[in-house]
Amino acid sequence: MQILKNQTNIDFIGKRKPAIFFSTVINLIILVGIAVWGFNLGVDFAGGTVVEVKFNKDIPAADVRKRAEAGGLHDVSVQSIGAAGENSFLLRLGGVTQLTEESAAKAKESLQALGPMKSVYPDLANGIINLRSEQALTAEQIRKAVEGTGTGVEEVRELGQAQAGGFDYQIVASGMADRIRAALMMGVQEGQPDFEMRRVEYVGPQVGKQLRNRGIMALLYSMIAILIYVAFRFDFKFGPGALLAMLHDVVMVAGFYLFSRAEFGLTAIAALLTIVGYSVNDTIVIYDRIREDMAKFKGKPFAEVINIAINDTLGRTILTSGVTGLSLIGLLIFGVGEIRDFAWAMLVGIIVGTYSTIYIASPLTIWLDEREAARQARQKGRGMNEPKVA
């Protein structure tokens, strides 16, 4: 398929200086923004609870948020998913269990009111309160004492009498999904829920931190591997340009997540990894053509050779980028939540990936070539000026 019927002769390289200035400014703004505001970390990285609910009546997201806030969930995030008539929503809330520092302190005070205690130790990471009482208590007594402070109890475990004296118990706090359900039930007439909880996901803070670190390392390792490949495949002066173009594309796509406040999670890492591969693929195609044209147009300035190579591959670039972009339209139209964010990130990546090959990778290659030529000229000049030994 031929997109361009006639050979183009666009002076891409002649506009490299303003393009580099523009890219540098945008990248600096993004990096400063990341340092100041940071990403809107998703549950994958920040940890927390995600609940998908479907209502059996028409209800806007604003009303769902009001109902949740009326039930005490003031930090909940509500996102509509699917078609408008589906009335499906994703509710995100930080934390995995209802046991927090504040609720644990209230529960401890209430438990100590039951009688003399040897120890009350809340384990916030696992959502458990370990209790050792000097006198025997019933599970119902303990449950009522904790639930009276507003913390849901999933189970009270009676561990028996301790060797050091006293009676051991474990109180397992309910998950945040139960708290979300209780909040949405507030104000429901006749106690019958008008919604269905379809999916519940929990990610602990430690697991989220591990996922975040491993995702970042996967991105770094892939970029190093690509740099090594380019260094062996082409001359040294081509490698830095490919690396800088990849870094540019990663920062630009990260900027999309920064300014759109889309959730930055494992799907975002997948988008960045895909963009790294797409960017270097386009760069290598143009590098191959540059290498061919260097042999074909010996004596021409290197910048002119690169311009010819870019024009030669312009039809292929438009076709590849266009087809890839068209494949994302379906995801943008029908996708929801993280899938739609992924499609937008990919669309941004395709645009900046094509741009960076022309205005980031190629100009750096020219600069390195000019630097090498100047170094060789200096060496040659020093050799001619050295006095000949008779």
CA dist 241 and 231 (Å) reads 11
Asked whether residue 372 carries a pLDDT value surpassing 80, the answer given is no
Match 């292929």 to its residue by tokens.
316
End-to-end CA distance of the chain: 68
Q: Does an H or E element contain 324, and which? A: helix 314-334
Would you say the C-alpha torsion 219, 225, 229, 230 has a positive or negative sign? positive
CB 318 within 8 Å of CB 285: no
pLDDT at 3 over 60: no
The pLDDT tens digits for 253-300 are: 999 999 988 888 888 888 888 888 888 887 888 888 888 888 888 878
pLDDT given at position 202: 74
Q: Residue 71 — pLDDT band, cuts 50, 70, 90?
A: confident
Of all residues in the chain, the percent with pLDDT exceeding 70 is 92
* DSSP class of 84: G
pTM attached to this predicted model: 0.71
Give residue 148's pLDDT band: very low, low, confident or very high (50, 70, 90).
confident
The pLDDT score that the predictor gives to residue 124 is 80
Query: According to the model, what pLDDT value does residue 190 have?
Result: 63
